Amino acid sequence: MKILAIETSCDDTCVAILQKEADKLNFLSSAVSSQIEVHREWGGVYPTLAKREHQKNLVPVLEKALKEANLLESGRSYKNVSKILQREDILAEHLTEFLKKYDAPNIDYLAVTVGPGLDPSLWAGINFAKALAFNWGKPVIPVNHIKAHFLAPLVLEEGTFPAVSLLASGGHTQLIVSENLKTHKVIGKTRDDAAGECFDKTARIIGLDYPGGPEIAKLAKKETDKEVSLPRPMIKSKDYDFSFSGLKTAVLYKWRDEESKTQDFKVAMAREIQEAITDVLVEKTFKAVEEYKAKTVVVGGGVSANLALREKIKKRGKDLKVILPDLDFSTDNAKMIAVTAAYENEKPLTVDWKELESKPNLKIN
């Protein structure tokens, strides 16, 4: 079977096509359009801007993915989409043009992220999926974005259970325990800022660009004799929750109180911010590994690109199966949505496209 998956929960517009024959998986294509440049001046993702970008990018990304998969056939699959896309003017225009040019592709299912995420962003992908389902006559599988971040790596890398997953991105920081591919429990999450958000906000304080994670990581590679020390919030707490806003405040005061803000001081701050965030993430993850007797650890979300975090996880997890997906698979992508759609249930669970709706606070179970 072939699944065409759509992901727009935050600021990446993604379409991927997966082929599954028995248990053999083959990605026919994956296209992503990132909006980092658009959001840079805001220092974070601005939801209405994100939606507008998705509306502009969805059709070109779809076209690219179909082309790469050799599934773009000239023809016409157009039915009037103006009612479905009544609040999506740019998208309606692009899609109408597309559907008048191309036939329905040879796929079996559509899959789309329905939550959690930014409501305006989610709706762009969902309305797009609705319009495609209506035109092409294909069933739709709704997918949970967070679940996709850990379930897809577990499937692809054949993780054994129980598994503990750490999900750390700009919008989420969660620890999840999975008993099998169907049973998952969130055991901890952030009470305030997400780990990526903390990288982004502290980077801004010390004068670095957005997104802050890679900028801090880059600066932290430099050597310095200067030392600063920052707190590791909740590192010893008995639960699995996180809190990063206190760290942000500590950075703000340290930066404000330093008279000579030399490059050396900035490097020392970057190194310590990275150490503090990754120490807390790793400590809590392995506390969960011990308690739940996990055999596999998965790390996902944009923050998992951090090399210091990767090294710490590998070191602490040397007796376990550690799954650290490639960057294009740990940041938002539609491949993970397609895999989850294929594996979450024995037979893909579809819904009537008319019933699809955005669920910005969707839970895992």
- Subset of residues 264 to 303 that bind ligand KG4, contact rule: CB under 6 A: 301-303
3-state secondary structure of 49: helix
Q: Is 217 in the site for ligand KG4 (CB under 6 A)?
A: yes
* Six-digit token string for 3: 């699944």
Answer yes or no whether residue 313 interacts with ligand KG4 by CB under 6 A.
no
Q: Closest approach of Cβ 244 to ligand KG4, in Å? A: 11
Q: Indicate whether 306 belongs to the interface with ligand KG4 (CB under 6 A).
A: yes
Q: Decide if residue 332 touches Zn ion (CB under 5 A).
A: yes
For residues 186 and 171, give the distance between their C-alpha atoms in angstroms, rounded to a whole number: 16
Among 10, 62, 154, 250, binds ligand KG4 (CB under 6 A): 10
* Contacted entry of ligand KG4, Zn ion, none for residue 200, CB cut-off 5 to 8 Å set by kind: ligand KG4
DSSP assignment, residue 226? -
Report the nearest approach of ligand KG4 to the CB of residue 273 (Å).
10
Q: Round the CA-based radius of gyration of the chain to a whole number and report it.
A: 21
Q: 334-353: which residues touch Zn ion (CB under 5 A)?
A: none
Q: Whose Cβ is closer to ligand KG4: residue 274's or residue 296's?
A: 274
- Whole-number minimum distance, CB 2 to ligand KG4, in Å? 26
Closer Cβ to Zn ion, 12 or 272, answer by number: 12
How many C-beta neighbours within 10 Å does residue 278 have? 22
Nearest CB to Zn ion, comparing residues 300 and 348: 300
Burial (CB < 10 A; 0-12, 13-18, 19+), residue 27, is middle
Q: Does 197 bind Zn ion (CB under 5 A)?
A: no
Residue pair 199/303 in contact (Cβ under 8 Å)? The answer is yes
For the bound state, the minimum distance from the C-beta of residue 241 to Zn ion, rounded and expressed in Å, comes to: 20
| Measured distance CA(97)–CA(103) in Å, rounded | 12
| Cα–Cα distance measured from residue 71 to residue 28, given in angstroms and rounded to the nearest whole number | 9
Residues in Cβ contact with 215 at an 8 Å cutoff, skipping those fewer than 6 apart: 203, 208, 209
Q: How far is CA 254 from CA 50, 76, 204, 206, 257, in A?
A: 33, 62, 14, 10, 5
| Shortest Cβ 334–Zn ion spacing (Å) | 11
User: How many Å from the N-terminal Cα to the C-terminal Cα in the chain?
Assistant: 27
Span near Zn ion by CB under 5 A; candidates 29-37, 76-84, 251-259, 328-336? 328-336
Instruction: Give, as ranges, the residues between 58 and 87 that touch ligand KG4 (CB under 6 A).
Output: none
How far is residue 17 from each of residues 29, 144, 290, measured CA to CA in Å?
Answer: 5, 17, 37
Question: Between residues 43 and 162, which has the closer beta carbon with respect to ligand KG4?
Answer: 43
Angle separating helix axes 307-316 and 212-220, nearest 10 degrees:
70
* 120 counts as binding ligand KG4 under rule CB under 6 A: no
DSSP reduced 3-state for 61: helix
Instruction: Indicate which single residue of 200, 202, 337, 358 sits in contact with ligand KG4 (rule: CB under 6 A).
Output: 200
Q: From the list Zn ion, ligand KG4, none, which binds 344 (C-beta under 5 to 8 Å, kind-based)?
A: none
Residue 215 CA to residue 198 CA, distance in Å, equals: 13
- Stretch (H or E) spanning 138: none
Minimum distance from residue 169 beta carbon to ligand KG4 (Å): 3
Q: Does 332 bind ligand KG4 (CB under 6 A)?
A: yes
- Which is nearer to ligand KG4, 142 or 301 (by Cβ)? 301
Q: Name the one range near ligand KG4 by CB under 6 A: 69-77, 85-93, 205-213, 281-289.
A: 205-213
> Nearer to ligand KG4 by C-beta: 127 or 304?
304
Q: Determine the interface stretch with ligand KG4 among 107-115, 135-143, 163-171, 288-296 (rule: CB under 6 A).
A: 163-171
**Which pair of structure tokens corresponds to residue 348?**
């893909």
Report helix, strand or coil for 38.
helix
Q: Would you tell me which residues interact with ligand KG4 (CB under 6 A)? A: 10, 169-171, 196-197, 199-200, 211-214, 217, 301-303, 305-306, 331-332
Which residues of this protein are in contact with Zn ion, per CB under 5 A?
Answer: 169, 332
